[in-house]
Amino acid sequence: MRWFTNLFKARDKPQNYSFGSNYSFFFGNSSSGKSVNEFTAMQMTAVYSCVRILAEAVAGLPLHLYKYTDTGGKEKAISHTLYFLLHDEPNPEMSSFVFRETLMTHLLLWGNAYAQIIRNGKGEVIALYPLMPNKMSVERDARGNLYYLYTKTFDEMTGSEKTTVALKAEDVLHIPGLGFDGLVGYSPIAMAKNAVGLAMATEEYGAKFFANGAAPGGVLEHPGTIKDPQRVKDSWNKAYQGSSNAHRVAVLEEGMKYQQIAIAPDQAQFLETRKFQINEIARIFRVPPHMVGDLEKSSFSNIEQQSLEFVKYTLDPWVIRWEQAISRALFTKSEKKAYFVKFNVDGLLRGDYASRMSGYATARQNGWMSANDIRELENLDRIPDELGGDLYLINGNMTKLQDAGVFAKKYEKEEAEDEEVLELDKKR
């Protein structure tokens, strides 16, 4: 028994260096000098677009609870209490779409998504409430069991401004992202703060460029001594500073000359830098560039293939994280053997109309799809059973290989019988 106790104590405490005293190690100022965190990163259009695309994609997928049947198939477990929570309304305050969109946003920005599991007296799950990941820490007690500490900024019961609530592991739905210990995920924004910071810096540079005018960063040269230089500066800025005053004709007095000292945006490859940083951020979230507005490498011939790759290589890993986390946290040990949850991504994998119809025709003619199977995928009403909607048909000229010899022998036997009949007729 002592051996097991030592084993538990030997387990490391889950580490999330983007939380607590080490929070500033990953976040804080980037190499570009810009302060990067989840909230400032969302002000970048590329980050906002990537997060919104992935969050809405996962939230919009049909989510169903299935039960294994005795015949080895599956059927929707509509009568199970979890079906309504996952498919329609996880709590009285939000829909399933909003709930999954919120948790997916947390997962993309903080690397972790948490939801509190509310159970009734029977132990059944009756509600799921999102929890802010920046207020959560994962701990391990002396016996090696995981538990969660959630910091509330205001407690309505006690009236205190800050309090910490301890939650058992079975009371928290935790979806971790990519991490180093398998228990806590790391924030993609924290791990790529320099790339995000550079994008923020280039965006600010462009904004200030147009705010200062078309030729910022210059000096006014005077052949003599100016008695009131501040007045000259204020007069110049009032007349020529700002995008609304760009390209105005400057009038210089008393032999003054204007000397530009800033590097022109085209020389600094300003636009190219901004474009590259957008692709860099899209690369962080593994979102195809055409989905964030960069259509340079996209065409009618490859954009459909890129969309399929988005489902296969970007959405599928996130969907699997969701499915396995839900099964692990919400099902009892006996239910895990009988039930499972599944996101339906078939709608995103559908091709154009002609390709779909050709595939359906092949499936129908080869007997592995019925008319109702096809109509269900196309969101059409089912054909009644008495009209043959659930019939599975095959071509009549096809047969199993092992039956080929049977037909051959039968044919030879029939020929032999016909020959015997002819011989008997001749003798008669």
DSSP 8-state symbol, 146: E
pLDDT, the chain, mean: 78
pTM: 0.71
Token code pair at residue 227 = 């008695």
pLDDT above 90: percentage of residues in the chain: 29
User: Each residue of 173-217: pLDDT tens digit?
Assistant: 999 999 888 889 988 898 888 888 877 877 777 766 666 654 545
404/400 Cα distance (integer angstroms): 7
Q: Is the pLDDT of residue 106 over 90?
A: yes
- Contact yes or no for 343/323 (Cβ under 8 A): yes
At 301, the amino acid letter reads: S
Secondary structure class of 164 (helix, strand, coil): strand
In this prediction, residue 246 has a pLDDT band, given cuts at 50, 70 and 90, of: low
Q: What is the DSSP string of 71-123?
A: TS-EEE-TTSHHHHHHHT-SBTTB-HHHHHHHHHHHHHHHSEEEEEEEE-TTS
Check residue 3 and give its pLDDT: 45
Secondary structure class of 179 (helix, strand, coil): coil
**Core vs surface per residue 200-218: b (16+ CB within 10 A) or e:** bbbbeeeeebeebbeeeee
Q: Is the pLDDT of residue 422 over 90?
A: no
Q: Is the pLDDT of residue 253 over 90?
A: no
Q: What are phi and psi of 105, to 5 degrees?
A: -65, -45
Place of tokens 């078309």: 214
Q: For the purposes of burial, counting CB atoms within 10 Å of the CB of 90, is it exposed (0-12), middle (13-18) or buried (19 or more)? A: buried
Identify which of 147, 152, 118 has the alpha carbon closest to the alpha carbon of residue 135. Answer: 152
Residue spans per domain, the chain:
1-137+174-213+264-349, 218-261
Q: What residues does 218 pair with on adjacent strands?
A: 260
List the alpha helices (DSSP H) in 111-220.
Answer: 188-191, 193-212
